[in-house]
Structure 1
């Protein structure tokens, strides 16, 4: 296929998701049954974001134009992609970059998210037979020309061992933080609550730690977080909440409880599900400078950085870990 044909096919996929016909509804329901963390609200949120922010003809044309992607790839490579499964369709961007640059791919899906993407790929093959054979799903990835792998710090060491002799992008554990100054509006706090709680806080772009000035008043934020009390209706989330709360009580740790979210002081940027860490700062400029060099930080949310409420709304050029996947694939 030519680049324009690939763009047209992806735009058709965006329309398919937007139209939300019975077939797509059944696939989303099956994905939710298989993984209880994938509730309908979050599957719809993730897939709709893809259709509107990624899968439209003007957006795709402008994106590929900026990289000078040729109409045809005369020497396509086989790219091995290891996908995470923490939130619905989290690996779609890697698939999209590889498909749009004209390479073939072998994908190892996470068992937590192995329903949605295979269906979408099957639709592409149904609409254009030329797409058949461009994507294969495999349990092990061998014989690839390059690799893009996402996982934990432990799996990252495994990836580095096996993939180091090939061109690669290897991503490890990351999370996001917010820097507050105490002057946030009610709307800012509502949007910050989204950054914390969407997808149950499981994404690397979810805010898991707050940096606040001394004498910060947590009450407005705690009141705002109450809108997510309904998360306790989901047994997996409630189990985590009860467990984390019990640990804090048994260890005699100071905490604040919004009802479904526990806020506690902790130096780690990573917090468990249902818990948010905080730390006081005295010099905001020095703090922001230190966060720039922290490899554990995916996003910094706040008035001087990513706007509140935007952490889970990445654009096509918001590449994970700041590594330009399109440039990597184009240069293979």
Structure 2
């Protein structure tokens, strides 16, 4: 395949995923039964976000700055399953530059990745010899693995001798100034509640100016209150609320989200930690020292930082160049061809 053929195939895939509603909806219904976190609404939202990048206007310039790869090398991919199709970008990177992909799916995947790859092969049959879904990785040349801090130690032990990208836990943060409009705070709700807060781009921590009025925040996110009808989410909400009440931990509660003052970045599900700050420049400087723990920041403030930053509501729609953990996968692959 030429690079143009690969690009054209992914462009066609993007159209299938957003136009063939009967076929797609049938798969999404099955996935929502296998994994209740993969609701129809969330999975459709993910498909729309992925497909928005699968255009010739975006794919062509994205790959143009990297050398054309002619290789028979195989990249072993260990994918996460915390949100629907979370590993698609890695698969796209590997295939679009000409590598083979040997894929170990998460047990939570619910058949979504296999469905998408089947559609890709239907569009361009030459991909059949480039894609292999396996239970155990074998005979690979490079590794891209995504998991927790614990699993990363396992990955390093078993795969560290091969060229690799191994990702750990990261969290996303919001910085508020107190001047945000109700519309902007409502947009922040998407950063918090999309995919039930299970993604590394989900905001798990708020930084607020001292004396911040949380009533403004709670009023703006009331739009997301239907999330409490999802039984797995509300089970987590009820559990964390009971723990805070039993322990006498000070917290705020609007009926579907708990806010707790805490210096940690990673909060339990249905909970967002918060921390007050005095001066914005000092806060940004402090966060810069912990950049390896942060996936992205959302804010309406103008800040200077190396950490990927988005407007409120923008964390869950990364572009092709918004690489997880800030590691350029195409550059990594180009160097290892």
TM over 0.5: yes
Residue 77 (structure 1) shift: 1.0
**SS at 2:103's partner residue?**
strand
- The answer as to whether partners of 2:34 and 2:110 remain within 8 angstroms in 1 is no
Residue of structure 1 equivalent to 2:281: 285
Say whether residues 1:120 and 2:116 are aligned partners: yes
Residue of structure 2 equivalent to 1:190: 186
Residue of structure 1 equivalent to 2:57: 58
What TM-score results when the alignment is normalised by the length of structure 2?
A: 0.95
Say whether residues 1:220 and 2:224 are aligned partners: no
Cα distance in 2 between the residues matched to 1:291 and 1:306: 15
Cα distance in 2 between the residues matched to 1:266 and 1:74: 50
Residue 293 (structure 1) shift: 2.9
- The answer as to whether partners of 1:76 and 1:104 remain within 8 angstroms in 2 is yes
Q: 1:165 aligns with which of 161, 175, 178?
A: 161
Cα distance in 2 between the residues matched to 1:231 and 1:18: 24
Cα distance in 2 between the residues matched to 1:300 and 1:24: 32
Residue 75 (structure 1) shift: 2.2
Residue of structure 2 equivalent to 1:101: 97
Cα distance in 2 between the residues matched to 1:135 and 1:50: 19
Say whether residues 1:275 and 2:268 are aligned partners: no
- In terms of mean alpha carbon deviation, does 315-324 or 287-296 score higher? 287-296
Runs of at least 5 residues in structure 2 that lack an aligned partner in the other structure: 303-308
Residue 207 (structure 1) shift: 0.5
Residue of structure 1 equivalent to 2:47: 47
Cα distance in 2 between the residues matched to 1:273 and 1:150: 20
- The answer as to whether partners of 2:13 and 2:123 remain within 8 angstroms in 1 is no
Cα distance in 2 between the residues matched to 1:183 and 1:165: 50
What are the superposed Cα offsets for residues 77-101 of structure 1, whole Å, 9 maximum, x if unpaired? 1000000001111000000000111
Residue 264 (structure 1) shift: 1.0
Q: Number of residues paired by the alignment?
A: 328
**SS at 1:132's partner residue?**
helix
Residue of structure 2 equivalent to 1:205: 201
For 1:137-148, list aligned pairs within 5 A.
137-148=133-144
Residue 114 (structure 1) shift: 4.0
Cα distance in 1 between the residues matched to 2:296 and 2:123: 37
Residue 193 (structure 1) shift: 1.1
RMSD of Structure 2 on Structure 1 (CA): 1.1
What are the superposed Cα offsets for residues 231-270 of structure 1, whole Å, 9 maximum, x if unpaired? 1111101100000000110111111112200111011100
For 1:24-103, list aligned pairs within 5 A.
24-52=24-52, 54-67=53-66, 69-70=67-68, 73-103=69-99
Q: 1:315 aligns with which of 315, 319, 323?
A: 319
Residue 74 (structure 1) shift: 2.5
Cα distance in 2 between the residues matched to 1:21 and 1:133: 28
**SS at 1:133's partner residue?**
helix
- The answer as to whether partners of 1:226 and 1:259 remain within 8 angstroms in 2 is no
Q: 1:302 aligns with which of 299, 323, 326?
A: 299
What TM-score results when the alignment is normalised by the length of structure 1?
A: 0.96
Cα distance in 2 between the residues matched to 1:90 and 1:60: 19
Runs of 4+ in 1 over 6 A off after TM superposition: none
Q: 2:146 aligns with which of 132, 146, 150?
A: 150
